[in-house]
Chains A and B, each alone.
Chain A
Amino acid sequence: MKRIYMDHAATTPTDVEVVKTMEPYFSLKYGNPNSIHFFGQEARETVEEAREKIAHLIEANSSEIVFTAGGTEADNYAIKGIAWANQKKGNHIITSKIEHHAVLHSCQFLEKQGFKVTYLPVDKYGLIDPEDVKKAITDKTILVTIMHANNEIGTIEPIKEIGKVVKDAGVYFHTDSVQTAGHIPIDVNDLGVDMLSMSGHKFYGPNGVGALYLRKRTRIVNLIDGGSQEKNRRAGTENVVGIVGMGKAAELAKERLTQGKEKGIVKLRDKLIQGIMNKIENVRLNGHPTKRLPGNANFCFEFIEGESMLLSLDMEGVAASSGSACTSGSLTASHVLLAIGLPPEIAHGSLRLTLGKDNSEEEVDYMIGILPGIIKKLRALSPFKENWEGLK
């Protein structure tokens, strides 16, 4: 059977070249980078090279990169670290309703500690208005944290414009860049961010490693205490193998971006979106038509539920994702789809297809070919037809 992977926003395959680069660091060059001897120094050098590559990907200085165990830790570190370090200055944080749970739940945790959080609304495309950020800033605001692009609907936020507003107010600005790093060009100075979270496995690196870009002179406290690794900012023996892999992945991503390779993915994505919108009725595209991640396509098919779509696609060899209650692991539909104004019954019918660098046009054609039949079959089971007739 065919095996087609269209869930690259969940995780990407680790690039073969990345794996090759990592291999020697398991059993040959296994030193602890903090050791004085040559095993240690060999590892230290490699870690610093990887740091350079990651800094280069986002046009930062390598001294501003702190390695973490992933994107979630980077988000936690940025948000809690800034809040705790600056609580004498103020107790107000601004974020949005469509952030990843790593950000939302960090903010909710801080609320329990007495911090005040503003959750900004988004428009029907999932866009945050920089004006809303400006209006929400008070003299108590210490941090604004807004994602670079949304993981579900793919909308790319106006980070640069928000960055200007935040800088004018003299407030720290963090962006969760887990979905954009390695996928679209990033320049931290152009964006005007003080902190930026990244995750290795989202751009063909390994799992279990991420990084936080931390602008010089940012006032932050540590999340993980212990040894003096990462210049006393993140304790724990460095995940050398992971860091090497993430560094190589960053190098390869930078090469692809320099060559404009993401444009090819945009082309495939648009073909997928057009094909599905043309062939199926009662479907809507979620997210912005153009301000969206190169590989992201997200739809709602009315009158049916997401998990049943995923099961049907799985049987046809296609791996996809959805924002329905069943797949969100909670009892409600995705908070992102509800925030863009979709009623729950429609949000449950969402399907997210995220393309990667190795998806072919043939795979996109196959998907456009099989989906109408799957939707038709599931709709035949549904008690709803046009206009959700009979919905209480």
Chain B
Amino acid sequence: MGMYSDKVMDHFKNPHNVGEIKDADGIGEVGNPVCGDIMKIYIKVKDDKIIDCKFKTFGCGAAIATSSMITEMVKGKDIDEALKISNKAVAEALGGLPPIKMHCSNLAADGLSKAIEDYKQKSKIKK
């Protein structure tokens, strides 16, 4: 459509790691229906390393592409390292996003942080 970078369109056309992880160690949900974007990020963690990450997203092209991008970025990363990924970094990895999308649809890193928080909470309870 011209408003998005080729990389965004690639991820939109063929999103990576779509789905749910049934026995996820952490789940993060961000966004709200009023704005029209909701992301759900699932992670599987082993020895504080993210070994799998999947997503389900209700939202626009940018919301879908950023979700897809972050699942790629975090696989194999330590959770502390993964927590450092910012929404801005996700947008940069996609070759940038239109300015209006930077606020409303660029939430994947927040979703991931929430999933990691969820994992930390759950593992505390286990210990």
Contacts and interface: CB of A to CB of B under 8 A. Distances in A.
A189 interface: no
Interface in A154-183: none
Contact of B35 (A329, A331, A384): A331
A380 B19 CA distance: 8
A36 interface: no
A380 B15 CA distance: 11
Interface residues of B, number: 30
B36 A310 contact: no
Contacts of B4: 311
Q: Which of A303, A308, A384 has most chain B Cβ within 10 Å?
A: A308
22 contacts: A305-B36, A305-B37, A306-B36, A306-B60, A307-B60, A308-B59, A308-B63, A311-B4, A324-B60, A326-B105, A331-B104, A332-B35, A343-B33, A345-B34, A380-B18, A381-B18, A381-B56, A381-B57, A382-B56, A383-B29, A383-B40, A383-B57
Given A331-B35, A332-B34, A383 B104 contact: no
Given A332-B34, A333-B36, A345-B36, A383 B58 contact: yes
A307 B15 contact: no
A326 B58 contact: no
A314 B12 CA distance: 13
Nearest to B59: A305
Nearest to A380: B18
Interface in B29-62: 29, 32-40, 56-62
Given A305-B36, A332-B34, A344-B33, A383 B56 contact: yes
Contacts of B1: 310-311, 314
Contacts of A315: 13
Interface of B: 1, 4, 9, 12-13, 15, 18, 29, 32-40, 56-64, 100-101, 104-105
Given A332-B34, A381-B57, A391-B33, 20 more contacts: A304-B58, A305-B37, A305-B59, A305-B60, A308-B60, A311-B1, A311-B9, A311-B12, A315-B13, A324-B60, A325-B36, A325-B104, A326-B101, A326-B104, A326-B105, A331-B35, A348-B33, A381-B58, A382-B57, A384-B38
B79 to A, nearest CB: 23
Contacts of B33: 343-345, 348, 391
Nearest 10 A/B pairs, CB to CB:
A345-B33, A348-B36, A307-B60, A383-B56, A326-B60, A383-B40, A325-B36, A344-B34, A311-B61, A382-B58
Q: Is the interface of B mostly helix, strand, loop or mixed?
A: mixed
Contacts of B9: 311
Q: Which of B18, B29, B35 has most chain A Cβ within 10 Å?
A: B35
A186 B112 CA distance: 56
A303 B60 contact: no
Given A343-B33, A380-B18, A383-B40, A307 B56 contact: no
Contacts of B64: 308, 381
Interface residues of A, number: 28
B17 to A, nearest CB: 11
B36 to A, nearest CB: 4
A388 to B, nearest CB: 8
Contacts of B13: 315
Q: Which of A306, A310, A326 has most chain B Cβ within 10 Å?
A: A326
Contacts of B100: 326, 329
A320 to B, nearest CB: 11
A383 B40 CA distance: 7
A310 B4 CA distance: 13
A348 B29 CA distance: 19
Q: Which of A307, A310, A315, A391 has most chain B Cβ within 10 Å?
A: A307
Interface in A37-84: none
B41 to A, nearest CB: 10
Interface in A193-240: none
Given A326-B105, A333-B36, A307 B58 contact: no
